[in-house]
Structure 1
Amino acid sequence: MKNTLLIAVLAASILAAAGDIYAETISGTVSGPAGKPIGGVMISAFDKGHRKFVSVFSQGDGSFVIDGLRNVKHDVRARLMGFDDEWSDGKKPGTGSLEFKLKAATGDDLQDQRPASSGFSMLKFDNQRDKLNFKMMCSYCHQVGTVGFRTPEQPVDWETMVRRMDGFGGLYRHTQKTIVKRLLGAYKDDAIRKWPVFVPPPAPAGLAAKARITAWELGKKLESSFHDLELGPDGLVYAVNISKHRIVTLDPATGEQLAYQLPRGSYGPHSIELANDGHMWLTICASGQMAKFDLNTKKYTICSSAEAPAKRGSYPHTLRINPKDPEGLIWYTDAGRNSCFSLHPVTLKVKEYHLLKAHQAVAAGKGESRGITPYGLDFSPVDGTIWYSKLNGNRIGRIDPRTPNGDIKEWNPPFRGPRRLHLDQNGIVWVPGFASGVFGKFDPKTEKWTVYDLPDAENQIPYALNVDPGGNVWICGTGNDTLNRFNPKTERFVEFRLPTRSSRPPLAPPP
């Protein structure tokens, strides 16, 4: 079995933006052990020169076509859960049809295909409250239950990892005392051998099997950690490398990548957005700063994310810019304090909005967990109000920029862990429930919630969602390497599988 580690950015719509400048094709068929055609198999063609791969799905008759390729050799992979990956290396477009014959996966090969959500389901808790608490505190930045997660071997290794993950001190005291034993009981080698045999889900069909996914490797393997990305007016992709403190640009047409290092003293770029003046703004979380990146000069302007005279903020997180705002204000959350901020892009004047305390929220629960964590943020296209979420405070809130103090109001959602929210064209607020494995629709006019479960909600951890121009809601399947498209009119899901495992997509792109 051939393993290929890919650090990739999903960009399903970028190919169209780049233009269909290549016209070569690789085609073929896929069959199973009995020789019958198999539909829903993901076929990926890897272009090493451009560090790019294009994936499509075989149709009901087993046929597939990957077009728009360069006239260079590609390594081609066939993948479907329940079968071993099959490869055809050095395939040049237009040189005959490929025939993949898949073999059923067994033993460890089948076990390793188990997505994180399935692996996480093997970790047992006494009650749902304890499980939600663990999901909130120990899966912020990675999946739980994957092969990589299960690498610690001794109790001391697990204790070290748990202390690192629970840096906020948010695990319940009784869970802190028992969690290492629970982890060993679920993920130690002899425990894994007692797991039930993994039963793969059905192959993609219908619309899910018509998707075309184009992805690129970014940065160096095993050392790059990218968080957010944005499309520039110049056709380039701008991505922030949070661990190497730089912006990396990608030209989808040529595959060229360029890096722009932040100046000394600025660390941890987290989020990036295109401003109304055509340049990029970033939150610099580790050093408590905001940064403007001039697309013409390739130079940074750095300022404190806090109000003067403070030299730095705590942890500036998510930013958004309303394209209809005549001032072009930069709005952002700070995950390290109970505040949101606006920044004038010309004067660099910062205004802090102090958010509500727990007892001031509508339908408030019994207090807040340790750490309030203002997190996601978006603007209403209807009235320009600013909406935010509190991940640990378990609130969503609204700021009205037309009033001196923001006329702030907050609501407690009927689920746990509101994370990176978005508003649709009608001003409806869509919110992922990270710990609960759900997402919710909040109507500001009626102040009513509608909540939808994701498939296997108990083991899902939806990090973010987005709304496309057609009103479809795209939700990260953070626990099982998927993107889910939800049609609010029909209330139907379509799950799209991603070409990489343990991919943890941070944001759902438009279609």
Structure 2
Amino acid sequence: MVGDQFGKAESNVSRKAERGRTMKYSRLVGLALAGMLTLGSQRLLAADLKYPFAESSLRGVVKSQKGEPLEGILVRAKREKGVMGRTVASDAQGQYRFPKLEPGRYAVEIARADGLEPARQMADIQDGRESTVDFTLGPAKEMDQQITSVDWLLNLPGTPDQIKLISDNCMHCHTGTPQNFRFDKENWLKVVRFMRGTTVHGAEWGAISHDPFPGARPDSESPNWEEENALIANFLTRVRGPEPIDLSKAKILPRPTGRSTRVLFTEYDIPYPNAELHDIEVDRYGMVWWSDWRWPYLGMLNPETGEMKYWESPPPNKPEVRPGGQEISFDKDENPWTPFAWSGGVVKFDRKTEKFSAYTFPDRAPRRFLSLGTDPARNRVWFHTDDYYGTYYSGFFEPDKKKWTLYEIPFKPGKKASGIYGDVSDSKGNRYLMKHRDSDIDRIDVETEQLTRYPTPTPNAFPRRGDYDSQDRIWFAEYNVGQIGMFDPKTGKITEHKIDLPMALPYGTGVDRNTDWVWVELYRADRLAVLEPKTGEMRQYWLPERHVMGRSPRAAPNSTADHSIIWLGTLPKYGNAKLIKVETW
């Protein structure tokens, strides 16, 4: 363990950055979402499970060109020049219905109908009247533009090894990207060399990629580097070269049916360009907070009023370091904390004064802080950190003492590096680490400081990003094997639940502690899944767009089993980020 002290920097003081540019801290930008929707904070009515809202302003029917009703089609209504939209799903009769909308002119469009050609109409919504907009949908004209990355990969011509090559190298953090560009062989090779040789997960944009091992050399110096690049580029040229392949008979994964169509999405546009929301969190008052992994912004949405604000956090006190944060957690006063993701350190935002306090890790070397969690009872801010070369630490910062305490996470026998992809503090302050390379869960006892390791039953499961339930059980995603894992500290055992979807790739979990339902985002398939642990039932919902890379499902304080309210942030490949409210019944 290492203890040290380091001073803080108040963000309301201007200072010059390394290259002479001036940063102004605590810049507030407010945006009022003009009252597009009168439903606002009203609760859905559980009496009518088909349409659980008393009034409607818009309805319609979605059918195929053969006149057959289409179930599970997502329809969006957004007011002209509005910054908030709503999306609903069609039922087994192809019918959809919106809650009451404010009068005005609306774009009514097919938000998702995988494999079918989308459509859009305009509608005038009048007070006291219910407008009707019907749709007739036919096959997609450009199939690869109207399907998810999972559907695209499952329908590509080629061997399993070729498809795995694309899946493993081009589609994890770049879901949807290869299927939206065309290049010839020469230019695909340039793209592949650049993408494999650089990383966005470094202290500087475009840093040279390398294995996370001590003394690792650049990836470009590895054996068979050019041969592997050529294999990837050749296959990309075949499937996304100048000449399109025929996907008109592609087999598309089934649309939502039954209870999975009882959903209402409210989508809030983030009020600055090029936003990429890596994480969100909901405080006990119901405010929704977000961090941006590309920009130094912390934002908040008040769902009651629709007001959105964001503030610019202070830059890390290190030269040549890019901005950006990730996970958010709250202290005993409900002040949000977030990390300096790419340099090492933590930032507190005082919700009363709207000022930041920044605490930079004393180590001046490049360092990542990707996860963060608070222990309000002990006034600790937990984190994990690494040096980009495989040496990992878990630790906590005590703001009142300005003290950092670290625990080095030992390598597993036979491993060159450790690897943590998410950590969780339970209600008692015990810390749990999701060890993706070791495929285990490490528990740090808050009283004894003892570390105990629990391997996942399925090898190479790649556990990541978890949450705790009302019984302090730890739920986490098992990315490599398409499962949800649960560690029970009372028994010391891990239980696994299979997700019924090929290439599910669950990114992370969020637990609604009012119901103990476990939510997980399946970002390659653009779906949200929920597990009810008491019954074992698992459902999947389409997200209202493809390639949005939904993150951090978090429950609202007033969420119930009859009316579940979950929030997501998005880190989209195209367009700007959104906050998405998901209501199911």
Question: Aligning the two structures, in what range does the TM-score lie when normalised by the shorter sequence?
Answer: 0.7 to 0.9
Match for 2:446: what amino acid? Answer: P
Residue 296 of structure 2 is aligned to residue 240 of structure 1 = no
Per the alignment, in what secondary structure is the counterpart of residue 179 of structure 2? coil
Aligned residue among 280, 288, 297 for 2:344: 288
- Aligned counterparts of 1:60 and 1:126: Cα–Cα separation in 2: 35
Distance 1:233 1:38, change over 3 A: same
1:24 shift after superposition? 6.4
Aligned residue among 351, 357, 360 for 2:411: 357
Aligned to 1:319: 372
Aligned to 1:83: 116
2:188/2:233 contact within 8 Å kept = no
Per the alignment, in what secondary structure is the counterpart of residue 432 of structure 2? strand
Distance 1:332 1:191, change over 3 A: farther
1:27 shift after superposition? 2.0
Aligned residue among 478, 481, 498 for 1:433: 478
Residue 83 of structure 2 is aligned to residue 51 of structure 1 = yes
Match for 2:455: what amino acid? Answer: N
Match for 1:429: what amino acid? Answer: I
- Aligned counterparts of 1:138 and 1:202: Cα–Cα separation in 2: 25
Identity of aligned residues (%): 19
Match for 1:425: what amino acid? Answer: S
The CA deviation string for residues 106-160 of structure 1, in whole angstroms up to 9 with x for no partner, is 441x2322211233444967769x95x9867755533266534766843222221
Distance 1:439 1:177, change over 3 A: farther
Aligned residue among 329, 332, 347 for 2:383: 332
Aligned residue among 229, 240, 251 for 1:188: 240
Per the alignment, in what secondary structure is the counterpart of residue 453 of structure 2? strand
- Aligned counterparts of 2:516 and 2:371: Cα–Cα separation in 1: 22
- Aligned counterparts of 1:435 and 1:179: Cα–Cα separation in 2: 23
Match for 1:45: what amino acid? Answer: A
The CA deviation string for residues 78-121 of structure 1, in whole angstroms up to 9 with x for no partner, is 3422322121225325554323222212441x232221123344
Residue 426 of structure 2 is aligned to residue 380 of structure 1 = yes
Aligned to 2:335: 279
- Aligned counterparts of 1:77 and 1:228: Cα–Cα separation in 2: 28
2:436/2:462 contact within 8 Å kept = yes
Aligned to 1:300: 356
Which structure shows the higher strand fraction?
2
1:18 shift after superposition? 3.8
Distance 1:208 1:477, change over 3 A: same
The CA deviation string for residues 440-470 of structure 1, in whole angstroms up to 9 with x for no partner, is 233334443333332334x232110122121
Aligned residue among 452, 457, 461 for 1:409: 452
**Structure 2 length as normaliser, TM-score?**
0.73
- Aligned counterparts of 2:157 and 2:426: Cα–Cα separation in 1: 40
- Aligned counterparts of 1:427 and 1:179: Cα–Cα separation in 2: 46
- Aligned counterparts of 1:435 and 1:150: Cα–Cα separation in 2: 28
- Range 341-350 or range 288-297, more displaced: 341-350
Residue correspondence of structure 1 range 398-477 to structure 2 within 5 A: 398-403=443-448, 406-413=449-456, 414=458, 415-457=460-502, 459-469=503-513, 470-477=515-522
Match for 2:308: what amino acid? Answer: Q
1:29 shift after superposition? 2.4
Aligned to 2:578: none
Distance 1:318 1:253, change over 3 A: same
Per the alignment, in what secondary structure is the counterpart of residue 421 of structure 1? strand
Distance 1:335 1:142, change over 3 A: farther
Distance 1:281 1:18, change over 3 A: farther
1:143/1:502 contact within 8 Å kept = yes
Match for 1:249: what amino acid? Answer: M
Match for 1:46: what amino acid? Answer: K
Residue 120 of structure 2 is aligned to residue 101 of structure 1 = no
Distance 1:55 1:479, change over 3 A: same
> Structure 2 unaligned runs (5+)?
1-36, 45-52, 200-207, 213-218, 318-322, 556-563, 565-585
1:35/1:101 contact within 8 Å kept = no
Aligned residue among 188, 195, 202 for 1:154: 188
- Equivalenced residue count is 477
